[in-house]
Structure 1
Amino acid sequence: MVARPDLLDGLRASLAGEASPRRYWLAYSGGLDSRVLLELLLALRRQQPDFPDLHIIHIHHGLQAEADAWAQHCQQLCDALQLPCEVRRVQLDSHGVGVEAAARQARYQVFEQLLCEGDVLLQAHHLDDQCETLMLRLLRGAGPEGLAAMPRRRPLGRGQLLRPLLGVSRAQLLACAREWGLRWQEDPSNADVCFDRNYLRAEVMPRLERRWPAYRRSLERAALLQARAASLLDEYFEQDLQPLLCGGGLVIDDLLALPPSRQLALLHYYLRSRWQLNLEQAQLHSFAEQFLSARRDAAPVFCVGPWRFYRYRGRLFGEAVELHTRSHSEPLSWDLSAPLPLPQGRLSAHRGGHFVPAGPLTVRFRCGGERCQLAGESHSRSLKKLLQEWGVPPLRRQRLPLLYCGERLAAVADMAICEGFYTPASEMGWQLSWRDAAGR
């Protein structure tokens, strides 16, 4: 079969924007959209000898009686095409969010875990999907960021997400699939107008098309303009936010010094940009009331999604709830040459610092009673008291990696170097870097 030049050129242009990806993952449902995108990718791969490795990921939601057959179809197709394929089953937790939202959340959790550095996840969302998303968000009263609808590309986990067909209509994809004689799976739930998106697709969009045949391009342009406006606002918000961040937390008094309207807007941006939380207005007001209006001696805690937020010494902190169940009881050997991933975060080192180990290093975590003699000091002090002086929140102290040489404490994460392990000549030592899994 011969791929249509317009679609192939568009796909080539979209992929050209990525900086030498190590591997492509195609999110493959078995439906029309992902089937056509797969065929286009195969055509492009035949033309480009240096085309990156292509892998398939299929999410088994278990929501339909046909779900097993869809997964089997996907695997059989990949076997025939000699493509690596992963089928991942997910468990949905729809409490309080609905089935559609729970399925989406489960999918993206898999995608984030799957992607490595240099990986790009390709999704087959098209122009009709984009228009439906814009309409749904408009009906929910979204602002510029929401009305920007789906971005063509964005970071996802350790990789990137790309939607190369976002400017292509479903009618174009259907015409291609029929021309090429492709087979695909139809999800019967797509006909259920109880779901908002399906209702728009079946009842509203056809009427819009009869009255305004070019509505898709108009809505596409509107989403693009909203995306530009949202990006400009984010630049201003980021400038305002930076001076408010200190020691991994948000300084509440500095936030309160701003006009009330800017307080809420900046808090909303902070939660969205640092924690991927896009709270509804009612939730945002409740959040602000707990942390901005509470007494100074109060200790408010707010849990939303996988995150828990709390206040400590006038700063707002957040972290994943599951971090409290993760720990290492045994020392871990580390030679500084490569980053050390930990459930609590990521420890790394590079040349050009003041830390000089004296023998093999091990990484441990607090168990109580540790003492630290800071470089340049003549006596040791309780590590607990030092952490209090440094303003480290109690919930984060247990996660700080402690570097030992033998039984001697050599460094406290990237916060302090102990006596005997410090060199004033930075070209001779190492610079430690600790990225707390809760840090944003």
Structure 2
Amino acid sequence: MPLSPEFHFTPQSLQQRLQQAVLTVLNAAAKPRLLLALSGGLDSMVLLHVLAGLRETADFVLSAAYVHHGLQKQADEWAAFCQVQTAGLQVDFQVCHVELTEPGRNIEQQARTLRYQALAALLDADTALLTAHHADDQLETILLALKRGSGLTGLSGIAAQKPFAGTVLLRPLLAFSRAELEQYASANQLSYVTDPSNLDDSFDRNFLRQHVLPLLQQRFPAISQTTARSCQLLQQSLDYQRQQLAVELPAVLRQQQLDLARLAERREPQRTLLLRSFLRRYDLAPSAEQCREFVQVFLESAPDAQPLLQWGDWQLRRFNGLLYLLDASEQLGLNTAPASGIRLLPEQQQQWQHWQFCWSLSAQAPAADWSSLPLALDISSQLEIRTGQLNQRFKPAGASHSKALKDWCKLWEVPPWRRGSMPFIIAGQQKQIVAVPEFASHCSAAEAQSWLHYKK
């Protein structure tokens, strides 16, 4: 039976607490539109019902989305169930289909990643995403964090609010146990689905849910709520720590890269915390063992060494005292780019490897995020992108004489592993270098007859 937007009798304190908790989170976020991640399960159906009842007083537009992983044979039925329930509440609804690409690899993590990617695609800056995580989820998360030996970040648990996909992710039910949500659902005659995979205790979270939490809650009935309260306090400490690190981090940066000598001057635990703060930019959260490995490889090795660490999809390298992180695509292209690329055509935007180029008579770049170099060539010339061939000579504007490109690379402090794949532009029958994107041109702006616009 479809949901009704009317509230039925619920113990007054629980109904008021649920409404107030949701309103508090919504008011803090101040977003005019809300997107609810709807699974059809107990927690998301409760949140759907509460939100639907608050629309008029809170003045927001509500929609919902179901992410269809195709992992359960009932997935179509659950999507249809969510469709019926949202229709009864006059809530816009859509189904997002995703497909796991690596069935043999950590299904839970893959499904979670794909789910949030699908939801992120539905958001804009004025739309907040809501999920219905509750206090029992928080307790499970903390126990799993303890199992992994997590630090403050892991032990602070699931955040009630955090930046996400250019907007914000909200979880307003973290203070409420599953038992309270069941009480609310029963009082309001809410229907919901049950995922049979939740019974599979080969998954760590399900094992805790079936075998550990019942014992803890029997002995300590309020443990879910008290754990949620502890997480709030730890989250405050984590927020303060991150604010302090944001102030301290610039002191160990140079050219927006981590300066390893400056980092080495810091004492523990500040050194490790600053390292973690920097790596968070790349969504890297190294373990304690990895941090120790980092110190040995990068801070204690000889200055002329070329250390390298591989952490998942990221490769960490050192050059000129700075830390560089290379993603998978950049590693793939290390010194393997072809010696010749493509001919540049005038007044056309062209893509080559990880670059975009536009050779134009106009000094105006295609967009604000493009850079430009002047060329003392008209558009009847022939230009070509090249890589490699670092022995070719180049004379930048203002230079007293030419040098081999490999020598300019040293002066420009280009990391050795990037030099072989660094693009440069050649012109004419003599194949002379006329520009090196990001670095120099053969002429000044006053001598320009055309312009090379580029974006990496």
Residue of structure 2 in register with 1:327 after alignment: 354
Equivalent residues of 2:396, 2:440 under 8 A apart: no
- Confirm or deny: 8 A CA contact 1:414 1:433 kept in the other structure: no
Structure 2 unpaired stretches of 5+: 8-14, 334-352, 376-382, 426-432, 448-452
Cα distance between partner residues in 2 of 1:316 and 1:13: 42
Give the residue type in structure 2 aligned to 1:169.
S
Confirm or deny that 1:276 pairs with 2:287.
Answer: no
- 8 Å CA contact 1:61, 1:67 repeated in 2: yes
**Alignment partner, residue 199 of structure 1:** 207
Letter of the structure 1 residue corresponding to residue 324 of structure 2: F
1:73 aligns with 2:100: no
Change (3 A) 1:178 1:120: same
| Alignment match of 1:420 (pick from 428, 445, 454) | 445
User: Which residue in the other structure is 1:14 paired with?
Assistant: 25
Deviations 1:247-291, CA, capped at 9 Å, x for gaps:
2321122222233654334323322x2222222223333344333
Corresponding residue to 1:389 among 401, 411, 435: 411
Aligned-partner residue type, residue 221 of structure 2: P
Distance apart, 1:89 and its partner CA:
0.9
Whichever residue aligns with residue 389 of structure 1, its letter is L
Distance 1:378 1:84, change over 3 A: farther
Q: 1:12 to 1:251 in 2, by over 3 A?
A: same
Equivalent of 1:267 in 275, 279, 283: 275
Between the aligned residues of both structures, percent identity stands at: 32
State the 1:371 CA deviation.
Answer: 6.7
TM-score (norm 1): 0.75
Q: CA deviation at 1:149?
A: 0.6
Residues 370 and 221 of structure 1, relative CA distance in 2, 3 Å threshold: farther
**What is the TM-score normalised by the length of structure 2?**
0.72
3-state SS in 2 of match to 1:181: coil
Aligned partners of 1:92 and 1:106 also within 8 Å = no
State the one-letter code of the partner of 1:13: T
Q: Which of 92, 96, 118 is 1:87 aligned to?
A: 96
Q: CA deviation at 1:174?
A: 1.8
The answer to whether 1:212 aligns with 2:220 is yes
Displacement after TM superposition at 1:187 (Å): 0.6
- 2:245 partner amino acid: F
Task: Select the residue among 2, 6, 9 that pairs with 1:2.
Answer: 6
Aligned match of 1:310: 317
Aligned length: 403
**Contact 1:355 1:421 survives alignment (8 Å):** no
**1:147 CA drift (Å):** 1.0
Q: 1:95-114 CA deviation, whole Å, 9 max, x = no partner?
A: 67x33233323333434455
**Matched position secondary structure for 1:40:** helix
RMSD over aligned Cα, in angstroms? Answer: 4.3
- Consecutive unaligned residues of structure 1, counting only runs of 5 or more, are 340-346, 358-363, 403-407, 423-431
Alignment partner of 1:291 is 2:333 = no
- After superposing the two structures, state which structure 1 stretch, 80-89 or 392-401, moved more: 392-401
Does the 8 Å CA contact 1:377/1:419 hold for their aligned counterparts? Answer: no
Once residues 292 and 193 of structure 1 are traced to their aligned partners in structure 2, the CA distance between those partners, rounded to angstroms, is 43
Residue identity opposite 1:56 in structure 2: A
Instruction: Tell me which residue corresponds to 2:11.
Output: none
2:140 aligns with 132
CA contact (8 A) 1:26 1:38 kept: yes
Answer with 1 or 2: which has the greater Rg. Answer: 2
Give, as a single letter, the amino acid of the residue that structure 1 aligns with 2:35. Answer: W
The letter of the residue matching 1:14 is V
Measure how far apart 1:85 and its partner are. Answer: 1.4
Q: 1:122 to 1:348 in 2, by over 3 A?
A: farther
CA drift of 1:200 comes to 2.1
C-alpha change, 1:181 and 1:92, in structure 2 (3 Å) is farther
Does the 8 Å contact 1:401/1:413 carry over to 2? no
2:168 to 160, 167, 176: 160
Query: Could you tell me which amino acid in structure 1 is paired with residue 413 of structure 2?
Result: G
Measure the CA separation in 2 of the matches of 1:78 and 1:372. 67
Distance in 2, matches of 1:40 and 1:185, equals: 18
After TM superposition, list the pairs within 5 Å mapping 1:331-410 onto structure 2: 331=358, 347=369, 367-368=386-387, 388-393=410-415
Instruction: Give CA-to-partner distance per residue, 1:79-123, whole Å, 9 cap, x none.
Output: 664514141313154767x33233323333434455433432111
